[in-house]
């Protein structure tokens, strides 16, 4: 098999060839049809996350070992199965749930393997789908596509799943106004999902005008560019001011921040109404000073969201099958073009999602 590997952080990916593994027990060998290119793959390529104040969280300190084959949005056809596998058959087209856990910790025991204390996620802690074949440790992590387009399905394992989980969290206070910051792979999915499962008016925020046509097509009721003055500011006529006035002068009930950098979280906190709900999802990172009294006085909730669980992914596949959500796939690359795919994402050339078709 041919796999693209990150040899070490910031090094170009190289293609390596190896023998196809033989699946044992519950294992499944998948012939990869389509693999989503996620911004998280860029963080893995760069070796970690920006913590702000010049600090950097290295993925190696979280247990990642290089060289690694990235890719956690994997769709494939089952090539071969281990002796114990009965829930799927050779020839099935499946989506992989990549957020695998230990199966033993409190999170895993309630089905939230995505929040495992010692995660084994594919494409991060074990080799992933930037490859023509990949070995799945257990067939329980596979969901049949049953008619969903393979390229579109890839994003349901990560961007779609994370967007779904975030929108569910944002919907607990039945928002009249929901602000979605960042109209990239995650944000565009969230707009569609929010349109389908909430009653909220959706305000989409980005600092790049090119994202807004698609955002509106996906269902955004309003779009706001936070970059009009070159920097985000408050005060009359500012983006913050505009958003608050759209929200009847009171502010947004819920905000999901798919960027989660100092500039965007400042906006989020500035537009959140009393009893508002802020969900931080993006991993752009940095750090921020916040005035503490406003949190109790406004009784706001700030929470994180990290991917979603297997059941969420199955629900999401069902929404896609019914045509309620249609992931935007705008570019396709071969396995040999992985470096270009990641460079294009970094240079913000991708609308929605790009996929690799090995
Ligand atoms: P993307 O690159 O496709 O989209 C990011 C969007 O944010 C773009 O539209 C960009 O124009 C916009 N943006 C960037 N900086 C901005 C700013 N300062 N103000 C306003 N808009 C800005 O990325 P993506 O694939 O949607 O992922 C978004 C983030 O979410 C990444 O950091 C990714 O690693 C992270 N992520 C988190 C989870 C999770 O479970 N928490 C899962 C997947 C991805
Ligand atoms: Zn991802």
Q: Is the CB of 178 under 6 A from ligand 1?
A: no
Q: Name, in order, each residue with C-beta under 8 angstroms of 213's C-beta and a sequence gap of 6 or more.
A: none
Q: Which of 38, 43, 184 to mutate to test the pocket of ligand 1 (most atoms within 8 A of CB)?
A: 184
Is 232's pLDDT higher than 50? no
Going by C-alpha positions, the residue among 164, 180, 159, 163 that lies closest to residue 278 is 180
Q: What is the mean pLDDT of the chain?
A: 94
**Domain CATH code at residue 312:** 3.90.180.10
Q: Whose CA is nearest to atom 1 of ligand 1?
A: 184
DSSP string, 207-241: S-GGGHHHHHHHT-SEEEETTTTSS---STTSHHH
Q: Is the CB of 169 under 6 A from ligand 1?
A: no
**Residues 217, 246 share a domain:** yes
Residues 189-227 have pLDDT tens digits of 999 999 999 999 999 999 999 999 999 999 999 999 988
Which H or E element spans position 266? Answer: helix 262-271
Bridge partners of 178, per DSSP, are 202, 254
> Residue 182 Cα, ligand 1 centroid: separation in angstroms?
6
Q: Residue 187: which domain range?
A: 160-304
**Domain CATH code at residue 226:** 3.40.50.720
Residues 236-292 have pLDDT tens digits of 678 999 999 999 999 999 999 999 999 999 999 999 999 999 999 998 989 999 989
Higher pLDDT, 351 or 4: 4
What pLDDT is recorded for position 230? 43
pTM > 0.85: yes
Tell me what the mean pLDDT of segment 53-66 comes to: 92
Report phi then psi at 53, rounded to 5: 50, 35
Is 48's pLDDT higher than 80? yes
**Residues 143, 78 share a domain:** yes
Higher pLDDT, 170 or 184: 170
Q: Whose CA is nearest to atom 34 of ligand 1?
A: 40
**Residues 318, 298 share a domain:** no
Q: Is the CB of 282 under 6 A from ligand 1?
A: yes
Tell me what the mean pLDDT of segment 283-302 comes to: 93
- If one counts the domains in the chain, the total is 2
- Work out which ligand 1 atom sits closest to the CA atom of 283: 32
**Residues 316, 290 share a domain:** no
Is 53's pLDDT higher than 60? yes
**Residues 147, 20 share a domain:** yes
235 exposure class (CB count in 10 Å sphere: 0-12, 13-18, 19+): exposed
What pLDDT is recorded for position 351? 84
**Residues 283, 173 share a domain:** yes
**Residues 111, 10 share a domain:** yes
> Residue 115 Cα, ligand 1 centroid: separation in angstroms?
20
**Residues 328, 181 share a domain:** no
Is 349's pLDDT higher than 50? yes
**Residues 182, 273 share a domain:** yes
**Residues 196, 133 share a domain:** no
Q: Is the CB of 307 under 6 A from ligand 1?
A: yes
- Work out which ligand 1 atom sits closest to the CA atom of 345: 2
**Residues 259, 324 share a domain:** no
**Residues 259, 129 share a domain:** no
Is 42's pLDDT higher than 80? yes
Residues 83-135 have pLDDT tens digits of 999 999 999 999 999 999 999 999 999 999 999 999 999 999 999 999 999 99
Q: Is the CB of 261 under 6 A from ligand 1?
A: yes
Contact assessment for residue 50 and residue 56, using Cβ atoms and an 8 Å cutoff = yes
How many Å apart are CA 114 and CA 192, to the nearest integer? 23
């Amino acid at each position: 098999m041919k796999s693209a590997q990150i040899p070490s952080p910031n090094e170009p990916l190289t293609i390596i060839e190896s023998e196809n593994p033989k699946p044992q027990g519950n294992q499944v060998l998948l012939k990869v049809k389509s693999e989503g290119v996620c911004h998280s793959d860029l963080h893995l390529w760069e070796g970690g996350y920006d913590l702000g104040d010049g600090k950097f969280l290295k993925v190696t300190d979280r247990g990642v070992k290089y060289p690694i084959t990235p890719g956690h949005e994997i769709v494939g056809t089952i090539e071969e199965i281990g002796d114990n596998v009965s829930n799927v058959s050779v020839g099935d087209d499946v989506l992989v749930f990549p957020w695998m856990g230990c199966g033993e910790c409190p999170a895993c025991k309630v089905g939230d393997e995505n929040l495992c204390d010692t995660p084994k996620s594919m494409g991060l802690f074990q080799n992933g789908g930037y490859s023509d074949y990949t070995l799945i440790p257990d067939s329980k992590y596979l969901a049949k596509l049953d008619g969903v387009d393979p390229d579109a399905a890839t994003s349901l394992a990560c961007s779609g799943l994370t967007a779904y989980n975030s929108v569910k969290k944002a919907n607990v206070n039945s928002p009249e106004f929901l602000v979605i910051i960042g109209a990239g792979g995650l944000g565009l999915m969230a707009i569609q999902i929010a349109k389908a499962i909430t009653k909220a008016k959706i305000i989409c925020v980005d600092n790049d005008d090119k994202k807004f046509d698609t955002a509106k097509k996906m269902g955004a009721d309003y779009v706001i560019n936070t970059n009009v003055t070159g920097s985000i500011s408050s005060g009359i006529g500012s983006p913050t001011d505009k958003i608050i006035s759209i929200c009847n002068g009171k502010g947004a009930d819920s905000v999901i921040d798919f960027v989660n950098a100092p500039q965007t979280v400042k906006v989020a906190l500035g537009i959140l109404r009393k009893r508002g709900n802020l969900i931080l999802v993006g991993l752009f990172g940095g750090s921020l000073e916040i005035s503490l009294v406003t949190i109790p006085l406004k009784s706001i909730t700030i929470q994180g969201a990290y991917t979603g669980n297997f059941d969420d992914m199955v629900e999401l596949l069902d929404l896609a099958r019914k045509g309620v959500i249609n992931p935007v796939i705008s570019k396709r690359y071969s396995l040999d073009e992985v470096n270009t795919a990641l460079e294009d994402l970094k240079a913000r050339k991708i609308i929605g999602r790009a996929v690799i078709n090995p």
